[in-house]
């Protein structure tokens, strides 16, 4: 006879909105916040949840055939293509409100320039650094065609990219070495020094394959491998990662080796790679806007863990915070990992209000990380 039964059931279902086609729905939504900007971002998130494809996941736990927990998780996949503010102002209790009409797409990948701008605006317009090393027949090239193609795609889409001219010669060499050896920590330090919130690093390597003569046209053929990864600078979290091995391309020629043919092979592999990296990053950001991304809150100088756990409850009451994990404490330093539908900059607006300024003193913050000290009483 079974006197204890624990059952975990994960059900994934999609709402009646079709995920097969890219639908666009016009919805009205209202948001609230402690500033006009926070209220607008809240309205945009609410519009996304109304109009996008909604994914539901239910987790049920029972003991002795008695329900002990029933948790439902939701995620809206899509993006706000465009919106118009219908009304905005200050309401009761110094809380601002914003009413909008928005066109919401069920496709989470922003393609049009205006769509990308809406996503970037909600994320605080992160700056991007791109470093790709490129070799042809084992020789490092002075410039990378893959790097240039990624940068052009970002700039054309409205991203703010770090210009290579801003880097000192020694930094450029260090960045190239870091990308070539896969030293993400070194790249992270360089990107942080240039104010980049996101960095993309990778390799493109082309090597001679063979000479061919199809239809009496002499070709020099090369095989190439390309790979790239996108990271958050502050937390080192991977946003997207993709590689294309053994892609063949070439150019006309009579020589045994041809740098032009190697470059052609890399360019051929670059197009699908860039599309995959771009789509991966945009989907991650769409999920962060609707379902929530991770913010790391580091607070130093806690007198004891009891105070740290009490503060955890206060963090959990901040509007937009979905969950708080931790704190993980080492000495007087405690780290909270927070899932929230906001950036660290958005959260800062709360941490300087409502008595927070009497509890902690913020030393620094970035896109996904806040560093502070506990104010001893």
Distance of alpha carbon 357 from alpha carbon 346, whole angstroms: 15
Task: Please report, for the chain, the start and end positions of each structural domain, with discontinuous segments joined by +.
Answer: 9-107, 127-290, 293-374
Which pLDDT belongs to residue 286? Answer: 77
Which pLDDT belongs to residue 331? Answer: 83
Distance of alpha carbon 264 from alpha carbon 221, whole angstroms: 9
User: Which CATH architecture does the domain made up of 293-374 adopt?
Assistant: 2-Layer Sandwich (3.30)
* Mean pLDDT, each 10-residue run in order, the chain (377 residues): 37 37 84 87 85 57 53 60 90 88 77 74 86 93 91 89 79 85 90 92 92 80 94 92 90 78 92 91 80 88 90 91 91 91 86 85 90 86
Which pLDDT belongs to residue 22? Answer: 66
Q: Are strands 66-77 and 79-90 parallel, antiparallel or unpaired?
A: unpaired
Q: Helix 259-290 and helix 113-122: axis angle, to 10°?
A: 60
Q: Are strands 219-232 and 127-136 parallel, antiparallel or unpaired?
A: unpaired
Which pLDDT belongs to residue 17? Answer: 36
Q: What is the DSSP string of 242-283?
A: EEEEEEEEEEE-SSS--HHHHHHHHHHHHHHHHHHHHHHHHH
Distance of alpha carbon 167 from alpha carbon 173, whole angstroms: 10
The CA-atom distances, in angstroms, between 136 and each of 100, 176, 200, 204, 251 are 53, 15, 21, 9, 14
Place of tokens 């465009």: 82
pTM as predicted = 0.72
Which pLDDT belongs to residue 319? Answer: 86
For 127-290, the fitting CATH number among 3.40.50.970, 3.10.20.30, 3.20.20.70, 3.40.50.10070 is: 3.40.50.10070
């Amino acid at each position: 006879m079974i006197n204890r039964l624990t059952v975990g059931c994960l059900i994934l279902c999609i709402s009646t909105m079709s995920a097969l086609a890219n639908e666009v729905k016009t919805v009205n939504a209202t948001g609230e916040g402690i500033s006009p900007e926070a209220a607008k971002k809240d309205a945009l998130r609410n519009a996304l949840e109304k109009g996008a494809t909604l994914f539901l996941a239910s987790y049920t736990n029972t003991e002795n055939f008695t329900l002990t927990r029933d948790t439902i998780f939701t995620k809206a996949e899509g993006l706000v293509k465009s919106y118009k503010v219908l009304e905005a102002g200050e309401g009761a209790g110094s809380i601002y409100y914003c009413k909008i009409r928005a066109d919401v797409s069920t496709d989470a990948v922003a393609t049009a320039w205006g769509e990308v701008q809406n996503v970037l605006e909600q994320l605080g317009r992160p700056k991007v650094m791109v470093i790709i090393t490129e070799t042809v027949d084992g020789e490092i090239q002075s410039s990378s065609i893959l790097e240039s193609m990624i940068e052009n795609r970002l700039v054309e889409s409205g991203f703010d990219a770090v210009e290579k001219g801003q880097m000192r010669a020694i930094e450029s060499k260090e960045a190239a070495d870091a990308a070539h050896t896969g030293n993400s920590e070194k790249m992270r330090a360089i990107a942080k020094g240039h104010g980049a919130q996101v960095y993309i690093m990778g390799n493109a390597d082309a090597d001679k394959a063979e000479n061919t003569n199809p239809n009496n046209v002499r070709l020099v053929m090369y095989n190439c491998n390309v790979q790239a990864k996108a990271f958050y600078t502050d937390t080192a979290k991977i946003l997207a990662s993709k590689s294309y091995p053994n892609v063949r391309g070439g150019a006309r020629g009579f020589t045994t080796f041809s740098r032009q043919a190697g470059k052609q092979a890399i360019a051929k592999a670059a197009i699908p790679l860039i599309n995959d990296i771009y789509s991966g990053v945009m989907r991650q950001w769409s999920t962060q806007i609707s379902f929530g991304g991770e913010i790391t809150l580091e607070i130093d100088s806690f007198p004891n863990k009891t105070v740290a756990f009490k503060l955890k409850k206060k963090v959990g009451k901040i509007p937009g915070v979905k969950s708080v994990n931790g704190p993980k404490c080492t000495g007087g330093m405690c780290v909270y990992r927070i899932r929230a539908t906001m950036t660290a900059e958005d959260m800062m607006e709360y941490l300087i209000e409502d008595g927070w300024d009497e509890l902690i003193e913020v030393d620094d913050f970035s896109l996904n990380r806040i560093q502070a000290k506990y104010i001893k009483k």
